Structure 1
Amino acid sequence: MSSQRLTASVSNYGGLGSFGAHGLKPEAIRNVIREIKALTTKPFAMNLWVSMEDEGAVASTEEAFHRSLSPLAKHIESVGGATPSYHPYEPIRFEDQVQVLLDEGISVFSFIYGIPSKQILDEFRHQGIVLIGTATTVDEAIALEQAGVDVIAASGFEAGGHRGSFLQPSEDSLTGTMALVPQVVDAVRLPVVAAGGIGDARGIVAAFALGAEGVQMGTAFLACEESGANTLHRKALLSGQARQTALTRGFTGRLARGIKNRLLDELNQNNIEILPYPLQRALVRHLSIPAEKAGRPELLPLWSGQSANLARCTHVRALLDTLVKEISEIGGAVQSWSAHRQLEEAQE
């Protein structure tokens, strides 16, 4: 749900905007970077997935395609979509995506689902590009530190979207942000960014109290008009429909969190066959594109973290202004409480 406008708006304000480019071909990534640079002169991050496909994606058969299409076919027909035909998988190479980032001279490279090779990391370091690796467990954070990244994003299971686990299966790496962040802070000597379930100033202050030196927020920005989320998605985030979220492999083939709706529930049934990533993602798009046009949010993958109901702002500047103001207010309240306690102790 990244957009060039959202990325630039966050960076222009003083944050670090980030664009998720994992599904784009190299030339498309090049165009995105240049478009963002036309909107901001500030640093921004480009995010890629180190692991581009699941085991079995290349060998997946036409028969498997039709078995996975079966539960979606009636919905595709109901929204006026065309029944997709089978096409052999054509992979996008991570190394080719990486080369574009190096060629275009970005400021920050962030990544999930693994650790790039030493050669790739060395090339980014040689250009002075900051490296941010994502960890969903303490062991992953330690592995990232040993690989020589600059910053670790500790991603709790409350986060919306995909679980970027790489040492153990995602289902075995579901540690919450409040538990994960202080353990990662204690285990590594690098700056830690807290991610997952942070939706307002209270979450930011809590993350800093846990030892984080920064926070990563996604769902709160999805509700903003500058994001790449469609109108139905943004409405769901702002209207209370995101009260229940759930994890599923049904939308893309990899474990991810979205708003609990009809499509998610159906694809989570035990008898449903899910294609490997990214084949399932491509298959579901044949439903999501016409479903969006038909105004059917119950048939859309609606990415969302568990803090979605905290979303209130519809513009990036308003959201960031609110966060800055409320953090200051919380800080003032904490100082006042601390001074009051000191006075009480002095009187005892």
Structure 2
Amino acid sequence: MTLEDGSLRTPLCDLLGCEYPVILAGMGGVARSELAAAVANAGGFPTLGMVREAPSLIASEIGAYRRLSNRPFAVNLIPAATDPDLLDQQIETCLAMEVAVFSFFWDVVPEAIARVKTAGALLLHQVGTLRAAREAEAAGADVLIAQGQDAGGHVHGRTPTFDLLRAVLDTTALSVVASGGISNGKGLARALSFGAQGVQCGTAFLATAESFAHDYHKQRVVTAQGEDTVLTDGFVLNWPKGSVVRVLRNSVTETFGPALMGHDPERIAHKVIARDGLIPRLRQSTDSPLRTTTGDLEQMPLYCGTGAGEIDEIVPAAQRLNTLCAEAQARLASGRQTPVGRT
């Protein structure tokens, strides 16, 4: 892989069938068909965020995506945080609809990996630790997404993105993608110079026109800086105890004071603060505000990575992707990003 000419094409692009080594993170609720298709049609690789969604919605979103784009895509599921019966139905729905790429996250569940691999699908597995990286590779993952603690949303490890990236690269021969706090071309160029074959972006695409996030969430990201985010396990209803997220500070995190960690979901009152149609949304749940959400949006978790300071407006997803890639190409072509690590 040569970087000096500013080329962004890596073997990952050939593996996934995209033009640029930029993956849309499978953000639950946010990365739906409209956003996924916009990223795909602009040359990136899209992931539909379908964590714990009903099989009917998964089928609907896959169908909607295919009406908007004929390019390859992945479906993101989280086996370790999904009821086994629902997970079985989700995977069955995807396989019946000939989904060729899956993206998994959180604890490694070998049985789920084996099922999609046996069906001939490609598997990307996001990991937050070296141990998880080794487990995912041993279970059959094709690509490792090294997610550092700089990422918005659910964060599985406590290592800064580029420290984890270097460590994972040193322990595997698989293609490795960097994720966490990368919102501009400088981050992409740096990741490629380390030896990564691409990056995964969430926050950068959340603040786009096609994102299914609520406009309130998008605007908060646009006005935020990285230091406006915190890591906490206080938004934990619906997920396993101790699950940590990176969110923008709000009135809920302020009530935590210094006790950002150690929240027991069994001891959290179920107080309805918002709704998506007839579906209630609870204070301290993991549900972020979507286009369809009404209620007290300020108290909901506003997922955001430390790269928020690089995002100053809401733009079409294609524009964000094109700008990010152009910046990276310029840095690499000018030699401002000296390649380090593996090539």
Same fold (TM over 0.5): yes
Q: Which runs of 5+ in 2 are unaligned?
A: 1-29, 238-242, 275-280
> Partner amino acid for 2:38?
S
> Partner amino acid for 2:47?
S
Q: In structure 1, the residue corresponding to 2:298 is in which secondary structure?
A: helix
Residue 211 of structure 2 corresponds to residue 211 of structure 1: no
Cα 1:275–1:306 change in 2 (3 A) is same
Q: Kindly state the Cα deviation for residue 123 of structure 1 after the two structures are TM-superposed.
A: 3.7
1:255-294 per-residue CA deviation (whole Å, 9 max, x = no partner) reads: 1011011122225675996426999798872457699645
Contact 2:217–2:302 (Cα < 8 Å) also in 1: yes
Q: In structure 1, the residue corresponding to 2:216 is in which secondary structure?
A: helix
> Partner amino acid for 1:114?
D
Residue 154 of structure 2 corresponds to residue 158 of structure 1: no
Structure 2 residue aligned with 1:260: 249
Structure 2 residue aligned with 1:310: 310
Residue 41 of structure 2 corresponds to residue 12 of structure 1: yes
Deviates more, 1:24-33 or 1:198-207: 24-33
> Partner amino acid for 2:253?
L
**1:106-255 matched pairs, under 5 angstroms:** 106-118=99-111, 120-163=112-155, 165=156, 173-240=157-224, 243-253=227-237, 254-255=243-244
Cα 1:292–1:299 change in 2 (3 A) is farther
Contact 1:242–1:260 (Cα < 8 Å) also in 2: no
Give the RMSD, CA atoms, in angstroms.
3.1
Residue 97 of structure 2 corresponds to residue 97 of structure 1: no
Deviates more, 1:190-199 or 1:310-319: 310-319
Contact 1:201–1:326 (Cα < 8 Å) also in 2: yes
Residue 268 of structure 2 corresponds to residue 275 of structure 1: no
Structure 1 residue aligned with 2:322: 321
Q: Kindly state the Cα deviation for residue 107 of structure 1 after the two structures are TM-superposed.
A: 2.4
Q: Kindly state the Cα deviation for residue 23 of structure 1 after the two structures are TM-superposed.
A: 2.6
Q: Which runs of 5+ in 1 are unaligned?
A: 54-89, 166-172, 339-348
Q: Kindly state the Cα deviation for residue 51 of structure 1 after the two structures are TM-superposed.
A: 1.2
Contact 1:252–1:281 (Cα < 8 Å) also in 2: no
Cα 1:3–1:336 change in 2 (3 A) is closer
Query: CA–CA distance in 1 between the matches of 2:132 and 2:225?
Result: 33
1:151-184 per-residue CA deviation (whole Å, 9 max, x = no partner) reads: 0000000000002x3xxxxxxx301111000110
Contact 1:251–1:281 (Cα < 8 Å) also in 2: no
Structure 1 residue aligned with 2:78: 49
> Partner amino acid for 1:299?
Q
Contact 1:141–1:184 (Cα < 8 Å) also in 2: yes
Structure 1 residue aligned with 2:57: 28
TM-score relative to the length of structure 1 = 0.75
Query: CA–CA distance in 1 between the matches of 2:329 and 2:50?
Result: 34
Cα 1:335–1:143 change in 2 (3 A) is same
Q: Kindly state the Cα deviation for residue 194 of structure 1 after the two structures are TM-superposed.
A: 0.4
More strand by share: 2
More helix by share: 1
Number of residue equivalences: 292
TM-score relative to the length of structure 2 = 0.76
> Partner amino acid for 1:206?
R
Query: CA–CA distance in 1 between the matches of 2:154 and 2:271?
Result: 12
Contact 1:232–1:292 (Cα < 8 Å) also in 2: no
> Partner amino acid for 1:107?
A
Query: CA–CA distance in 2 between the matches of 1:106 and 1:277?
Result: 39
Query: CA–CA distance in 1 between the matches of 2:249 and 2:136?
Result: 32
Q: Larger C-alpha radius of gyration, 1 or 2?
A: 1
Q: Kindly state the Cα deviation for residue 199 of structure 1 after the two structures are TM-superposed.
A: 0.9
Structure 1 residue aligned with 2:299: 299
Q: Identity, % of aligned pairs?
A: 29
Query: CA–CA distance in 1 between the matches of 2:152 and 2:215?
Result: 18
Contact 1:150–1:191 (Cα < 8 Å) also in 2: yes
Q: Kindly state the Cα deviation for residue 330 of structure 1 after the two structures are TM-superposed.
A: 0.7
Contact 2:34–2:211 (Cα < 8 Å) also in 1: yes
